[in-house]
Homo-oligomer: A and B are copies of this chain.
Amino acid sequence: MTAIGIGIVGGGYMGKAHAVAMSAVGAVFDTALRPRLEMVAASTPESAARHARALGFARAAADWRALVEDPAVEAVIVASPQETHRAIAEAALALGKPVLCEKPLADTLENARAMVAAADRAGVANMTGFNYVRTPATQYARQLLAEGAIGRVTWFRCEHAEDFLADPDAPLDWRCRGMANGTLGDLAPHPINAALAFMGPIAEVMAEIERVHETRPGGEVTNDDQLQLMLRFRSGVRGHLFSSRIATGRKMGYAYEIHGSDGAIRFDGEDQNALWLYRREGPEAERGFRRILAGPEHPDYRAFCLGPGHGTGYQDQIIIEARDFLRAIETGEPVFPTFRDGLAVAEVAEAAARSAHSGRWTAVADV
């Protein structure tokens, strides 16, 4: 059991989630590396100090460079705006420090590529923060698919839909400006990552990207509200992806359904402790989708509770992510999704943007 000093850039929504995760992960998973909340950086000395006090960090920094360069900070978590990801990650990697970077990996494809190059040069643990693939139910779904439980896959549909901007009268704010903050930049990476995790590489996409509410109180919206992609996976399977921030009524609409020749799988993030499985076997009269409740038999559940169906939540996904990051540091083995996996998501997003522009099927390999 070895201590490791953690520095987190950003003390907001995701910075807090990672701080809590790093506080709890040792006791939850009895990890070999034990995180020590060493330093948090924020945009001002005041906010940094406030975050440090609230979240339990030993020290605060108003400049992320101070954090990255601090010798007691042995691993860096990047939870700051997307435009800052590249610079922070490159600086940390250049010092040989492992980096867990929040999704999306970067604000532009170019920056994402630079980050992968930096990670390759550094040769240390690097990871992109796609937490939703880490629920026990979704890990189990991936396992079922890999085992061939539903036979040859024939269809893959996924979505990430929320409604935080459904009200057309919600005032303009930072989320309405900049492609990186639109649906393609902010929400769609989650289902794109799911598509890649479940189905492997995407060959081509055909996309529509929509700015539904063109103006809001305060001015013009300059990024997208929703999008859809028809997908052709390299394996030949077809699928569909939808993402929206104006899907009224949807709160955590990270959902997928997968059809196979021998069965089917369904999941909805609004009931994240259940996985629905259909097997085309046994008497026809007894067939039906079964609602499997996550439990100690499923990946990573047992560390949280010995009773099945007792449930894990959003924060627990981040704790699992923290365990994976620590393990990658400890073992030197890459853990999905690495920066390279984060780049793969960015490439699909770029292909989608081009397809929507041209109205044509677009090969991901061409971006």
Contacts and interface: CB of A to CB of B under 8 A. Distances in A.
Interface residues of A, number: 93
Most chain B CB within 10 A, of A23, A162, A228, A309, is at A309
Contacts of A226: 154-155, 238
A313 B19 CA distance: 18
Contacts of A305: 17, 313-315
Given A155-B244, A168-B261, A292-B288, A27 B1 contact: no
Contacts of A23: 23-24, 26-27
Given A162-B307, A230-B230, A361-B359, A293 B312 contact: no
B309 A270 contact: yes
Contacts of A164: 307
Given A210-B238, A248-B261, A361-B359, A26 B56 contact: yes
A264 interface: yes
A292 B297 contact: no
A341 to B, nearest CB: 22
A167 interface: yes
B313 A312 contact: yes
Most chain B CB within 10 A, of A19, A28, A162, A298, is at A28
A56 to B, nearest CB: 5
B13 A27 contact: no
Contacts of A212: 154
Number of copies: 4
Given A240-B240, A252-B308, A293 B288 contact: yes
Given A56-B34, A208-B230, A248-B259, A292 B286 contact: yes
Contact of A260 (B19, B26, B248, B271): B248
A306 interface: yes
Contact of A277 (B166, B260, B288): B288
Contacts of A311: 252, 269, 272-273, 311-314
B285 A247 contact: no
A325 B359 CA distance: 43
A121 interface: no
Contacts of A293: 251-252, 270, 288
A244 B264 CA distance: 13
A273 B341 CA distance: 31
A249 B315 CA distance: 27
A226 B260 CA distance: 13
A177 interface: no
Nearest to A13: B306
A260 B167 CA distance: 10
A30 interface: yes
Interface in A19-48: 19-20, 23-24, 26-28, 30, 34
B278 A264 contact: no
A194 interface: no
Given A30-B53, A228-B240, 15 more contacts: A23-B23, A26-B56, A166-B280, A208-B238, A247-B259, A248-B264, A271-B271, A285-B292, A288-B290, A305-B313, A305-B314, A311-B311, A311-B313, A312-B313, A313-B313
